[in-house]
Each structure stands twice: as C-alpha cells, then as structure tokens.
C-alpha cells in the first residue's frame, strides 16, 4: 500500500523488514530492486542485488542443512546415487539451479555495465570540453546587432522591347 501511495522510502523499509525475517522472500527482494530502479539509484540497486543473492543462497543452504539433519537416513540412502549422477556439490549438498538468482545475477551484470559506461561517457564529455582550443573558448559568439541597416531599394526590372 505504501508503494502504491508513492511512499517509496517507507515501502523499502517494510520490504527490508520482510527479508530480515525471511531471506528467501523473493517478492520482497524484487520489489526493493524495482523501487531502487524507479528512483534511479543504480549503485544502491547493485549493492542490494549482491546482498540479496548472498542472503538468499545462505538461507537456502541453511534450509538444506536442516533437511539433512532431520532426514539423515533418507539422505544417506540416496547420497551415493546422487553423487554418481553428479547431483551433489563438493560440500555434499544437492546442486540447485535457481532461476531467481540467475535473473538477479543477469540484472547485476547489466546494471554494472551501465554504471561503468555512464561514468566513461561523463568523463569523455568533460574531456571534450577541456580539449577545445583556447582561441575558440575565448572568442565570443558573434551576435547580430539590433540596429538594422536601411534597406536598399531594388532596381526595377526593365523589359526590353524587341522589334517585331
């Protein structure tokens, strides 16, 4: 409701509370990213994406660890098969492909690319201004004077008469 009302700072605070309680809340992470994008704070959005990715992965790994503790016999019986099939990480946890993290990493890559190129453009624009010759900088632009010249009457065209 705060976001719809246009109260972006308070909406971000509530989303931050939501992800503090549940770091796997992808909706709250995504809405924060969108709000930063709308307010055009690219550096904050990039930092948020890094934090979101890290926290989300930690929480997912913690959930997997909890499952392993409670279901140790199931994990032990299927571990060898999962290892042969290449379904386990070197840590012994199952490999997981999460589209959410993939999307966030793609967004981060694009965002960092834009930030880097935006800074280059600003620097090159400043360099162009500095590279102008001093004669061009110091020469004032020619202005048209407000005084108008008196109009010169045009000569009338005279028709030649040709003999018939």
Question: What phi, psi does 88 have (nearest 5°)?
Answer: -115, 145
> What's the whole-number mean pLDDT along residues 49-77?
88
> What's the whole-number mean pLDDT along residues 35-64?
89
> 48 in a domain, yes or no?
yes
> 93 in a domain, yes or no?
no
- Within the chain, strands assigned E span none
The pLDDT score that the predictor gives to residue 22 is 92
The pLDDT score that the predictor gives to residue 47 is 92
The pLDDT score that the predictor gives to residue 126 is 67
Query: Considering its fold, how many domains does the chain have in total?
Result: 1
Q: What percent of the chain clears pLDDT 90, i.e. is strictly above it?
A: 24
> 148 in a domain, yes or no?
no
> 39 in a domain, yes or no?
yes
* pLDDT above 90 for 20: yes
> 61 in a domain, yes or no?
yes
Segments forming the whole domain that contains residue 60 = 2-69+98-128
> 110 in a domain, yes or no?
yes
CATH number assigned to the domain comprising residue 33: 1.25.40
> 136 in a domain, yes or no?
no
The pLDDT score that the predictor gives to residue 65 is 86
**Residue-wise pLDDT tens digits, 91-144:** 777 777 788 889 999 999 999 998 888 777 666 666 666 665 555 554 455 555
> 21 in a domain, yes or no?
yes
More confident residue, 141 or 154: 154
Residue 52: name the closest of 33, 75, 34, 68 by CA: 33
The rounded distance, in Å, linking the Cα atoms of 23 and 37 is 20
The pLDDT score that the predictor gives to residue 151 is 61
* pLDDT above 70 for 145: no
The pLDDT score that the predictor gives to residue 85 is 82
> What's the whole-number mean pLDDT along residues 69-75?
85
The pLDDT score that the predictor gives to residue 147 is 56
Which of the four pLDDT bands, split at 50, 70 and 90, describes residue 17?
Answer: very high
């Amino acid at each position: 409701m705060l976001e719809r009302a246009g109260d972006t700072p308070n909406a971000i605070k509530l989303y931050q509370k939501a992800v503090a309680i549940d770091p796997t809340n992808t909706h709250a992470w995504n809405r924060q990213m969108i709000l930063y994008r709308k307010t055009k704070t690219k550096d904050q959005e990039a930092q948020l994406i890094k934090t979101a990715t890290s926290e989300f992965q930690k929480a997912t790994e913690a959930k997997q660890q909890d499952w392993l503790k409670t279901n140790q016999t199931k994990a032990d019986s299927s571990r060898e098969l999962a290892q042969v099939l290449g379904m386990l990480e070197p840590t012994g946890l199952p490999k997981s492909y999460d589209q959410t993290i993939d999307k966030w990493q793609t967004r981060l890559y694009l965002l960092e690319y834009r930030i880097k190129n935006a800074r280059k453009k600003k620097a090159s624009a400043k360099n162009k201004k500095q590279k102008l010759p001093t004669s061009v900088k110091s020469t004032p632009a020619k202005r048209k004077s407000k005084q108008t010249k008196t109009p010169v009457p045009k000569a009338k065209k005279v028709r030649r008469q040709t003999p018939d």
